[in-house]
Amino acid sequence: MTNLNIEETKYTPKINLDFEKGIVSIAGKSYPENTFEFYEPVMKWLEEYFDGNAQETTTINFEIIYFNSSSSKLFFDLFDLLEENNEKNTIIINWIYDEENESALEAGEDFQEDFETLTINLISK
Amino acid sequence: MNISEIQHLVERDGIIFLSYGGFLSQAIISAMTEALEKEADANDIGMGISSNMFTIFIELSQNMMNYSKSKDPNCHEITPEGLILVSKDAEDNYYIQSQNIVELKDKDKIEPKLEEIQSLDNDGLKKRYRELRRSGQNTHGQGGGIGFYEIAKRCDSIEYKFSEITKNKYYFHIKTKININKKEK
């Protein structure tokens, strides 16, 4: 299994999927022209990772400044995938937001409510 | 919409600081979003409210851009064109509005969503948004999906109008208002 790194653009986040460390980071803005195509390699990577390649603890760091509605749906699907693997793995999700960005906080709270079995930490910076 | 109508909008809604009419592409949308970021920065608009503004702007623009993609490539009548305006008035209200041409069958898809949105209060809207996001219905098509719910969650009010051009074609106009001094919901 290899790591996957995607550089940040004006409308897509910086993505680092580190298999050795078990750390997934998604940081920046997210409003791709075709959201599902853009995130397809990320979802594929995660599926492969949890298919017998996962580290003891997996940390997911989300730091999204703002996003479009299809990204919102995509993140929902991503949380769904994490929830499916939550029983057999230790998964820690950090939803990182700027303390002045109430909208980003609210988005994190929504995910907490929708995925009660997942450990989602809301972290202001 | 003709020039005099734009003039009318300016008089009614105060200063327009971003307006665009024509072909929409991801590069253009991204450049305009950057311009909005600068505007928000220069006016000291808080991050929460400015994020809402950017999301609404992106949502409306990408809606117009994607709309044409769902059409038959031989259908030259519907191109990725639209009009988008961002303005503010003296009471610290920001308005983001857009206009494009839609077909009757798309009006029939969009209108019930907007009617439902108008009938919901904030909690109802939040609940419905999460329901739709969970169910996954409507989210992969180009017909608006949860986009209008996303917009509604992030603004103070929505007005919309369909004006008939021909039996099968309508102008779809939508206007969202955001007050920058109001405490966030």
Contacts of B36 (CB under 8 A, 6+ apart): B18, B50, B53, B54, B57, B86
Query: Predicted confidence band at B16 (pLDDT cuts at 50, 70, 90)?
Result: confident
Strand partners, A67: A30
A115 φ/ψ angles, rounded to the nearest 5 degrees: -125, 75
Q: What is the 3-state secondary structure (H, E, C) of chain B?
A: CCHHHHHHHHHHHCEEEEEEEEECCHHHHHHHHHHHHHHHHHCCCCHHHHHHHHHHHHHHHHHHHHHHHCCCCCCCCCCCEEEEEEEECCCCEEEEEEEEEEEHHHHHHHHHHHHHHHHCCHHHHHHHHHHHHHHCCCCCCCCCCCHHHHHHHHCCEEEEEEEECCCCEEEEEEEEEEECCCCCC
In contact, A39 and A50? CB cutoff 8 Å: no
Which range has the worst mean pLDDT, A92-101, A105-114, B71-80, B146-155? B71-80
Residues of A in contact with B69 (CB under 8 A): none
User: Mean pLDDT across the stretch B58-83?
Assistant: 75
**Which two three-digit tokens encode residue B67?**
């709309």
Higher local confidence (pLDDT), B80 or B156: B156
User: Mean pLDDT across the stretch B87-94?
Assistant: 87
B67 has a pLDDT exceeding 90: no
pLDDT digit string, tens, across residues A13-29 = 999 999 999 999 999 99
User: Mean pLDDT across the stretch A71-93?
Assistant: 95
CA neighbor of B27 nearest in space, from B76, B56, B62? B62
Report the residue from B48, B59, B65 with minimal CB separation from A101.
B48
Q: Would you call A69 and B54 a contact, using CB atoms and an 8 Å cutoff?
A: no
Distance from CA of A97 to the nearest CA of B (A): 10
- A/B interface, count of CB pairs below 8 Å: 79
Query: Residues B139, B69, B97, B92: is their CA dihedral positive or negative?
Result: positive
Residues of B in contact with A31 (CB under 8 A): 29-30, 33, 58, 62
End-to-end Cα, chain A, rounded Å: 32
User: Mean pLDDT across the stretch A68-78?
Assistant: 94
Report the residue from B51, B133, B149 with minimal CB separation from A103.
B51
Name the DSSP letter for residue A10. S
A57 has a pLDDT exceeding 80: yes
Report the residue from A33, A69, A101 with minimal CB separation from B59.
A69
B31 φ/ψ angles, rounded to the nearest 5 degrees: -65, -40
Report the residue from B48, B55, B136 with minimal CB separation from A100.
B48
Alpha-carbon span A89 to A91, nearest angstrom: 6
pLDDT digit string, tens, across residues B98-113 = 999 899 998 999 999 9
Q: What is the pLDDT of residue B3?
A: 58
Query: Predicted confidence band at B2 (pLDDT cuts at 50, 70, 90)?
Result: low
Q: Which of residues 38-97 of A touch B (CB under 8 A)?
A: 65-70, 72-73, 76-77
pTM for the whole structure: 0.90
User: Mean pLDDT across the stretch B24-40?
Assistant: 94
CB-based contact, A109 to chain B, within 8 Å: no
Q: What is the pLDDT of residue B114?
A: 96
Which range has the worst mean pLDDT, A7-11, B32-36, B167-171? B167-171
CA neighbor of A19 nearest in space, from A52, A65, A66, A67? A52
Q: Would you call B130 and A101 a contact, using CB atoms and an 8 Å cutoff?
A: no
Q: Please give the mean pLDDT across all residues of chain B.
A: 84
CB-based contact, B184 to chain A, within 8 Å: yes
Q: Would you call A72 and B150 a contact, using CB atoms and an 8 Å cutoff?
A: yes
CB-based contact, B134 to chain A, within 8 Å: yes
Distance from CA of B115 to the nearest CA of A (A): 19
Residue written as tokens 């808080």?
B46
Helix axes A69-84, A35-50, angle to 10 degrees: 10
Q: What is the pLDDT of residue B53?
A: 95
Q: What is the pLDDT of residue A71?
A: 94
